[in-house]
């Protein structure tokens, strides 16, 4: 029995290596690619998210430092009302923009 099985295994492997379609054998199926695609999609999104969050954090730090240099050191906190309104408005708009982008990604609209 064992020798019959081993002879068949030898024949099948030889035919496979010779590029023939061995009779009674078929390529073993691989898992559905959608799971692999899904994992790669998450990895790509994570990379984008990390990069964008890093850029956002850097931009916030730079903006606050510049405001401090301008208002605190440059003008001894004697800042025109228009400048403060513009800065606060820009900050709020930026926050709303980030929240909108994140929530639209997390909860995409479905048709």
Nearer to other proteins, 5 or 73 (CB): 5
Half-sphere exposure of 95 (CA within 13 A, CB side): 6
Report the alpha-carbon distance of residue 87 to residue 69 in Å, rounded.
14
At a CB cut-off of 8 Å and minimum separation 6, what does 108 contact? none
The answer to whether residue 8 forms part of the interface with other proteins (CB under 8 A) is yes
* DSSP helix/strand/coil, 69: helix
The answer to whether residue 59 forms part of the interface with other proteins (CB under 8 A) is no
The answer to whether residue 45 forms part of the interface with other proteins (CB under 8 A) is no
Smallest gap from Cβ 42 to other proteins, in A, equals 7
By rule CB under 8 A, what count of residues binds other proteins?
A: 29
**In this structure, what DSSP letter does residue 11 have?**
H
The answer to whether residue 71 forms part of the interface with other proteins (CB under 8 A) is no
Out of 29, 78, 82, 110, point to the residue binding other proteins (CB under 8 A).
Answer: 29
Out of 34, 39, 68, 79, point to the residue binding other proteins (CB under 8 A).
Answer: 39
Structure tokens at 17: 């290596």
Chain residues in the site for other proteins (CB under 8 A): 1-2, 4-6, 8-10, 12-14, 16-17, 22, 24-31, 35-36, 39-40, 42-44
């Amino acid at each position: 029995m064992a020798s019959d099985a081993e002879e068949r295994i030898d024949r099948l492997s030889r035919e496979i290596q010779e590029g023939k379609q061995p009779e009674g054998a078929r390529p073993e199926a691989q898992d559905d690619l959608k799971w692999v695609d899904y994992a790669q999609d998450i990895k790509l999104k994570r990379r984008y998210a990390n990069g964008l969050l890093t850029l956002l954090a850097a931009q916030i730090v730079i903006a606050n430092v510049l405001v401090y240099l301008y208002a605190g050191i440059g003008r001894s906190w004697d800042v025109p009302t228009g400048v403060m309104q513009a800065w606060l408005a820009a900050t709020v708009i930026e926050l709303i923009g980030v929240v909108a982008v994140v929530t639209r990604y997390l909860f995409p609209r479905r048709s």
